[in-house]
Amino acid sequence: MRLIPLLLLLLMLATFVITLLLSFPGSDWLQAFAEAAVVGALADWFAVTALFRHPMGLPIPHTAIVKRRKDQIGANLARFVADHFLAPDVLARHLQQLQPGDRLLLWLARPQAQRALSGHLLTALHWAVNALGEQPVREFSQRLLRQNLSSEKLSRWSGAGLRYLIEKDRHQPVISLTLELLAANLHRQNAAIRQRIKEGSPWWLPGFVDDRIAGQMLARVETLLLLMATDERHSLRRRLNMQLHRLARELEQGRHGDTLHEYWQQLSRRPEIQDYAVYLWQRLATEISQQSQDHNSLWHQEIQSWLAQLASGLEQDQAMRERLNQWLGDALVEVISTHRQEFAQLISDTVAAWDGEETSHRIELQIGPDLQYIRINGTLVGGTIGVVLHATSRLLV
């Protein structure tokens, strides 16, 4: 691209010299065009060259601008990107057109994507389990947990967790299920309990009396448990709810922290519990290792099946897809706009780390060919202006 404006400049120089040496009709007009074209070509050559280097190696002020002001250009570019490309309103408008949820659905519906994602999930799980199962990592985690899990924190966290469960009656299904399980277990153990009561009764008390009393007692307890499980307004269940509310408040106030902490310490120090935890962890690590290496394993198939069902469910639920698009869009806008200054800093730091000569050369390679048209246009426009000025002088003289 440099060759074209250079040849045009040489043509204008040759034309100017010829019109100086030879006189022919219209030579004055051609000379005016060539003279002004040479001036325009040289001026624009200087302007274009001064962006990237010193013209002819001369340290003329305000030349080699890119090399000299590289860091400032990088900072301005970073600020421009942050203000005009990563602004929340710009991102929201673009993401709304992009529909990230629909794009995720299209990708997730592909069988190869499901296989790849299941492989990535199992590989990450395999790595995490193996890393946490190593003795140094386990000892470090236990030591860190003992140092940071004070009695007050344990109490407050337990209270916060319990309060979360009982807010808006989230704990009611748990209580109902627990009561049902207790009633069912009591029913299954009915004969064994009766036998234990009979064995512990005085010798002089007839056996049928023991059995009748025990049967009525167990039946009433079982009935009471079932009533409490099915009726959330039962008096005993309301009393249990009040006790749970009070316990949550007391835990959040740290009133039972020492007791909980002592139970935790006793539990974590028991050798049989530690050995059993290590055994379970090793079994889990072995199972995950085997499953992750076999792409036809049950775990791979189950994850792929779940992903396929998720994609199918989203495809059939337009409202859920719209909510997914909104969630993903809002999340991306929040993350990018919150950290846009860090993204901008990455641009400015990257440009600042570049060598000045290298930076100037990179930019020149990208925009230099287009800048050569400035030299071509300057030559032709300068020549045209020269003709206009020559005509004006002829009219005025």
236 occurs within a structural domain: yes
Among candidate residues 242, 239, 191, the one with its CA nearest the CA of residue 215: 191
Question: Same domain, yes or no, for 282 and 164?
Answer: yes
Question: Same domain, yes or no, for 121 and 214?
Answer: yes
Question: Same domain, yes or no, for 160 and 29?
Answer: no
Among candidate residues 136, 132, 140, the one with its CA nearest the CA of residue 280: 132
- C-alpha 233/C-alpha 238 separation (Å) is 6
184 occurs within a structural domain: yes
Query: Interior CA angle at 387 toward 385 and 388, to 5°?
Result: 65
What tokens does 54 get? 């010193």
Helix, strand, coil in percent for the chain, rounding step 5 = 85, 0, 15
- What is the pLDDT at residue 29? 94
Element housing 339 (H / E): none
337 occurs within a structural domain: no
Reported as a single tens digit per residue, the pLDDT across 99-122 is 888 888 888 889 899 888 888 888
325 occurs within a structural domain: no
Work out the pLDDT band at 186, boundaries 50, 70, 90: confident
Q: Which domain holds residue 249?
A: 101-316
Residue bearing the bigger pLDDT, 57 or 274: 57
Question: Same domain, yes or no, for 244 and 392?
Answer: no
Question: Same domain, yes or no, for 45 and 153?
Answer: no
Question: Same domain, yes or no, for 207 and 311?
Answer: yes
Residue bearing the bigger pLDDT, 17 or 123: 17
pLDDT reading at 258 higher than 80? no
| The domain boundary residue, chosen from 285, 316, 347 | 316
Question: Same domain, yes or no, for 198 and 309?
Answer: yes
| The domain boundary residue, chosen from 291, 316, 341 | 316
- What is the pLDDT at residue 254? 77
68 occurs within a structural domain: no
CB 386 within 8 A of CB 66: no
Reported as a single tens digit per residue, the pLDDT across 285-305 is 778 777 777 778 888 888 889
Question: Same domain, yes or no, for 374 and 287?
Answer: no
- What is the pLDDT at residue 8? 95
State how many domains the chain has.
2
Crossing angle of helices 100-108 and 111-133, in 10° steps, is 90
pLDDT reading at 329 higher than 90? no
Element housing 369 (H / E): helix 356-396
Question: Same domain, yes or no, for 140 and 273?
Answer: yes
pLDDT reading at 240 higher than 60? yes
Among candidate residues 380, 395, 374, the one with its CA nearest the CA of residue 33: 380
What tokens does 190 get? 């009915």
91 occurs within a structural domain: no
- Count of alpha carbons within 13 angstroms of residue 366, beta-carbon side: 6
CB 189 within 8 A of CB 202: no
58 occurs within a structural domain: yes
Question: Same domain, yes or no, for 122 and 271?
Answer: yes
Reported as a single tens digit per residue, the pLDDT across 30-63 is 999 999 999 999 999 999 988 888 888 888 888 8
- What is the pLDDT at residue 141? 60
Work out the pLDDT band at 139, boundaries 50, 70, 90: low
Q: How many CB atoms lie within 10 A of CB 396?
A: 6
Report how far apart, in Å, the C-alpha atoms of 307 and of each of 34, 105, 310 are.
73, 10, 5
pTM score, whole prediction: 0.48
What tokens does 53 get? 């280097």
- C-alpha 176/C-alpha 232 separation (Å) is 8
Work out the pLDDT band at 16, boundaries 50, 70, 90: very high
pLDDT reading at 205 higher than 60? no
Question: Same domain, yes or no, for 53 and 107?
Answer: no
Question: Same domain, yes or no, for 142 and 272?
Answer: yes
- What is the pLDDT at residue 253? 82
59 occurs within a structural domain: yes
- Count of alpha carbons within 13 angstroms of residue 303, beta-carbon side: 20
